[in-house]
Structure 1
Amino acid sequence: MVELSTTKDGVANQAEASDRVLQILSEAGRLFATKGYDGTSMRDIAVACGISKSLLYHHFSNKDEIYARVAVGSTLELYLFVRDRIPDGPPSQKIRAFMVATAEYFRRYRWAWIASTTAFWNDPDRHRQKERMTRRDRFEHFLRGLIQEAIDAGEIRKLDVAMTGRLILSSLNWMHRWYNPNKSATPEQIADIFFDMVFNGLRTDGPARPPTIEPPKSPRRKPR
């Protein structure tokens, strides 16, 4: 996967793209997530990447720039990573690809994901927070477009598109809180299971219906 930096208008800058930059962001994300911003130095990042400080400074001018890219840039990189993995075909399979690709990004760049998630709500820089919100909305609207395609194609019934998108994203976004990399299932396999649950439901085939919940009866008053 090639990391893509951005210009002010959010357009990917291919000239600056490199796997080395993404490695730096991933290792820096791990350090920020475990040691915090103040506890992480440029030397720590260089050592973690197995490179010299001079090479690190060739890519980034200071630690704050790296932190900003982890906190803000990861959102765009996730969008581009997922977008490029959506195949042609039925809309429902595009949604499945969206979920699996999101999980793949999480697996490959887990620490950057965690650091970015932590920074999402805790970064005091309002400009960065606003930019992250804009990019998050772009990612969410991309998913909503896929859901609407599936509805229009008759693959799924008419649903609240925004609510459906939140359900799918919530199942993926909180994976970092409980996922254990030592377990057998990969994030991609988990995302595939989530897709099956969302699109095929939980109940078995047959005439079974969800239970009807009756309103509570008012207590009878005793006659005086």
Structure 2
Amino acid sequence: MARAASTVEAGDSAERILQILSESARLFATNGYDGTSMRDIAEACGISKSLLYHHFTDKDEIFARIALGSTRELYQFVFDRLPEGATPTERLRAFMVATGEYFQRYRWAWLASTSAFWSDPEQRRQKERMMWRDRYEGLVRTLIQQAIDAGEFRPLDVPLAGRLVLSALNWMHRWYKPDKGMPAPQIADAYFDMIFRGLRAE
């Protein structure tokens, strides 16, 4: 019976931490790091400050968890959705659509992480985020190179093409409105057609 109670408590704790991270990401993205206090986070979660401090030492720990976790989880989320046995072009499309899906699902964490990427004074965290960012960027370059090697794309500057893809995807947060227009994965799919199939009529 004690073990069952312990399992419930662990589940409740995990859900509470997820709630804190989600609400914090929204507040950081909306008000900025300096404009968000531990009191703001506690009130948004409907919990006491003492319970908030039970889970996190301070605001910096919450912010670091969001910023680093978002960068790492983006890579894993996209990588896990690349179809096995598909052509390089199909896998590249899946890369872009999965990025759009991640952005739509975890928009507040994306926004908070984007604002934090270059401003975190902690060098160790900065290096770790850069490592995951480089893996993500390396993945799109690998897919483009594989498409060239397979004869699906003409020879082109792979790093430049990779930056074009990532710039289109990363810029969405500046104008995307969840309640207007196409869903983010559909936008990413449209970007794929525009970038790799061109704008000219057949």
Q: If the length of structure 2 is used for normalisation, what is the TM-score? A: 0.83
Alignment of 1:32-181 (within 5 A): 32-50=28-46, 53=49, 56-57=52-53, 59-88=55-84, 89-181=86-178
Which of 174, 181, 186 does residue 184 from structure 1 map onto?
181
Q: Which digits, 9 at most, give the CA deviation of each residue in 1:97-153, with x for residues without a partner?
A: 111111111111111111111111222333322222222111100111111221222
Backbone CA RMSD of aligned residues:
2.0
AA at the equivalent of 1:164: A
Are residues 123 and 201 of structure 1, via their aligned partners in 2, closer, same or farther at CA, if it must alter by over 3 Å? same
AA at the equivalent of 1:191: A
CA distance in 1, matches of 2:73, 2:54: 21
- Asked if structure 2 preserves the Cα contact closer than 8 Å seen for 1:27 and 1:112, the reply is no
CA shift, 1:25, in A, is 2.4
- Asked if structure 2 preserves the Cα contact closer than 8 Å seen for 1:46 and 1:52, the reply is yes
Are residues 45 and 142 of structure 1, via their aligned partners in 2, closer, same or farther at CA, if it must alter by over 3 Å? same
- Asked if structure 2 preserves the Cα contact closer than 8 Å seen for 1:25 and 1:66, the reply is yes
CA distance in 1, matches of 2:149, 2:16: 42
Larger Rg: 1
The alignment of Structure 1 onto Structure 2 pairs a total of residues equal to: 188
Aligned partner of residue 122 in structure 1, secondary structure: coil
Q: If the length of structure 1 is used for normalisation, what is the TM-score? A: 0.76
Q: What residue is the counterpart of 2:11 in the other structure?
A: none
Q: Which has the higher helix share?
A: 2
Q: What residue is the counterpart of 2:200 in the other structure?
A: 203
Segments of structure 2 that go 5 or more residues without pairing to the other structure are 1-13
Segments of structure 1 that go 5 or more residues without pairing to the other structure are 1-17, 206-224
CA shift, 1:203, in A, is 0.8
CA shift, 1:79, in A, is 0.6
Aligned partner of residue 118 in structure 2, secondary structure: helix
- Asked if structure 2 preserves the Cα contact closer than 8 Å seen for 1:27 and 1:49, the reply is yes
- Asked if structure 2 preserves the Cα contact closer than 8 Å seen for 1:99 and 1:172, the reply is yes
Are residues 23 and 86 of structure 1, via their aligned partners in 2, closer, same or farther at CA, if it must alter by over 3 Å? farther
